[in-house]
Structures are given as structure tokens and as C-alpha cells.
Amino acid sequence: MAQSAQPVKKRKIKGDGAWGYAFIAVALIVYALFTAYPVISAFLISFQEYKPLGSTYIGFDNYTATFKDDLFWKSIKNTLVYTVLTVPVALLLSFLVAIMILPLRKKLQTVFKAVYYLPVVASGVALSLVWLWIFDPMPGGIFNQFIGWFGAHNQNWLGSSATAMFSLVIMAWLSSHGASIIIYLAALLGIDDSYYEAADLDGASFLQKLWHIVIPSLKPTTLFLLVTAIIGSFQVFQNAYLMTGGGPDHATTMVGLLIFDNAFKYFEFGKAAAQSLILALIIALVSLFQFKFLGKDVDY
């Protein structure tokens, strides 16, 4: 019995290998065609002046033109401003909310999780339309009514270059925390009770426990959320596209929107491809930087 099992097992492994390839075949074909090929193609296009019938190679012209383009730098600046204003606030809000949900009964926890997650489920196009009207510049506009209670004057929220970016930021604050609250809560529930017990024996206060136990334990979660939020924020373009079109005076033109405009408004595919690769490089560098400096004692 034992003697005959050996060759049988060997044959199975060989057979399994073939099944392995068969099972991933469709995934690999889809990947090769719709991800790998486009990435390689993007590299090639970025060195071309693209024309449907016969493109010409123009070396690094698309890249040098991009670096000389004031609008490109402005879009980088806008993207950074948007990221710096939205990501930390959204993360902090999520963290605080998760901490507050933690001591509640299970049922109540579920209710709040669902409530905060609901905007994530709604389509981005629908939400952008609603916010468009909330920011209506007329005195009757909802947001103007709201700031009126505090004695502030009417603002032309999306129509003025002074407030347009801020308006998009407010929208992000109130609609981008659904997933991170749930992830934070799951991480909080995963912290071993023995840490708290030891701290209680030492007479630690709530804030001490928060600082010495919770925040260090949640570091991997924070890093994960931070990296994914920044990657997402660097690519953002849909709200700006639908609500301001990048205006007024390019005040809300983010890199993602600039690339979109170059590609599908001006049909400068070469330039768009070059800019998208620069964006990819920036995202890669920023992610690497975060893992290196924030993730020192986080092991994955």
C-alpha cells in the first residue's frame, strides 16, 4: 500500500500542474491583453507623436514638453494640495469614529457601519450631481444657507478659484471614510485583550492605553489605509471632471484630469501616455517612501 502510494502521488502532482495552468489561463489572457499589453504600449506611445495612421517616434519630446508645461506643474500642485487636505483628515475621522463605535453593542456597531458605508455604495456620478446643488452659489443654496447660520457670506463655491478646491475637499471629507472606518474597527477588535489587562493592572488611563497600545497596534492598518488612500487620491479626477471641469482657471485640474483632457479632449495620446507614466512613477516612489519610513517596524 505504502509502496504503491508513492508513484501515484507523483503522477498527481504532474497532472495538477497542467490543471493549474488551465485554471489560470483565462485570467492570464485577460491580463496580458488588457493590462500587460496596454502598459507596454503606453511606453511606446509616450515616445511617439500618435496618429491613427502611422505614428512617428519623437524621442523624449513628450516628456520634455510636459516638464516645461506650467499646467502640468499646476496640476501636480493641485493634486498634492487635494491629497494633503483630504487623506489625513479622512483617516483621522475614520479612526475617531471607529474608536467611538468600539464600546457599543454589536447591533449598534453594525447599524453605524452600514450608515457610514452607504455613500460608498452610491454612484459617484449621482453624488457629484447632488453636491453640485448643495454648492449652489445662490443665497438659497444649501451650503450657503448653512454657513449663513454662522454669519458667513455667500460664496460662489465651485465657480470661484478661491473656493473650488476647498469645495471638492469638503465633499471628500464627508463621503470617503466608509471603508476605512470598517477596516479600523476590524483591527481594533483584533487587539488582544491581554494588553489592556496588563495596562489596567498598571493603572493606565484611557488616553495612555490609546497612545501606548492602540496606536502602535494599528500601525500596519494605518499604513495600509494611508498608502491606498494616497494612491487613490493621486488618480482622482471624476468629481473634478463632473463638477468643475477642472476650472475655474484650472484651480481644480488634477493630474488625472489633465491626462484625461490631453487624451480625450485634445487627442494628444503621446503626451497623455508620457504624463501617465510620470504619474505612475510618482505613485511608486511615494508608496515606496511610505513603506520605508513609516513601515520600519511593520512586518508583512
Partner 1 sequence: MSLYNNHTGSRAGKTARNTVIVVLLLLFALATLFPIYFMVISSFGDPVEAGAVSYSIWPGKFTLESYSFFFNYSEYSYRWILNSTIVAGAVTITNVFFATLAGYAFSKLRFRGRGVLFSILLAAMMIPYQVTQVPLYILIVNTFHIENTYSALILPGLVTVYNIFLAKQFMSSIPTEIMESAKVEGCSQLQIFFRIIMPLSKTVMAVIAILTFMESWNTFFWPFLVTNTMDMQTIQVGLKNFRFANTTYFSPMMAGATISAVPMFILFFSLQKYFLEGVTVGAVKG
Which residues inside 63-122 make contact with partner 1, applying CB under 8 A?
A: 93, 97, 99-104, 108, 110, 112-119, 121-122
Query: Which lies closer to partner 1 via its Cβ, residue 153 or residue 205?
Result: 205
* Minimum CB distance to partner 1, residue 184 (Å): 10
- Is 165 or 171 the residue whose CB approaches partner 1 more closely? 171
Question: Smallest gap, in angstroms, from Cβ of residue 88 to partner 1?
Answer: 17
**Residue spans of beta strands (DSSP E) within 7-156:** 48-49, 56-57
- Footprint of partner 1 on residues 229-268 (CB under 8 A)? 231, 234-235, 238, 242, 255-256, 259-260, 263-264
Backbone angles phi, psi at 289, to 5 degrees: -55, -45
Would residue 298 be called left, alpha or beta, if left means φ above 0 and alpha means ψ between -120 and 50 degrees?
beta
| Among 70, 197, 202, 297, contact with partner 1 (rule: CB under 8 A) | 197
Tell me, by CB under 8 A, how many residues bind partner 1.
Answer: 108
Cα separation, 172 vs 88, whole angstroms: 11
17 is an interface residue for partner 1 by CB under 8 A: yes
| Residue from 49, 69, 137, 196 in contact with partner 1 (CB under 8 A) | 196
Q: Which C-beta is closer to partner 1: that of 87 or that of 272? A: 272
- Options 1, 2, 4, 19; binder of partner 1; rule CB under 8 A: 19
- Spatial CA neighbour of 113 closest among 190, 180, 191: 180
Helix (H) or strand (E) holding 80: helix 70-101
CB 262 to partner 1: min, Å? 9
Residue 285 is a binding residue for partner 1 (CB under 8 A): no
Among the listed residues 164, 139, 166, the one whose alpha carbon sits nearest the alpha carbon of residue 154: 139
Please state, in angstroms and rounded to a whole number, the distance separating the CA atoms of residues 200 and 4: 60
Chain length of the chain? 300
At CA 79, angle to CA 78 and CA 83, rounded to 5?
115
In angstroms, give the least distance from the CB of 143 to partner 1.
10
The nearest distance, CB 130 to partner 1, in angstroms, is 5
Applying CB under 8 A, among 85, 87, 90, 134 the residue interacting with partner 1 is 134
Q: Which stretch binds partner 1 (CB under 8 A): 60-68, 81-89, 149-157, 280-288?
A: 280-288
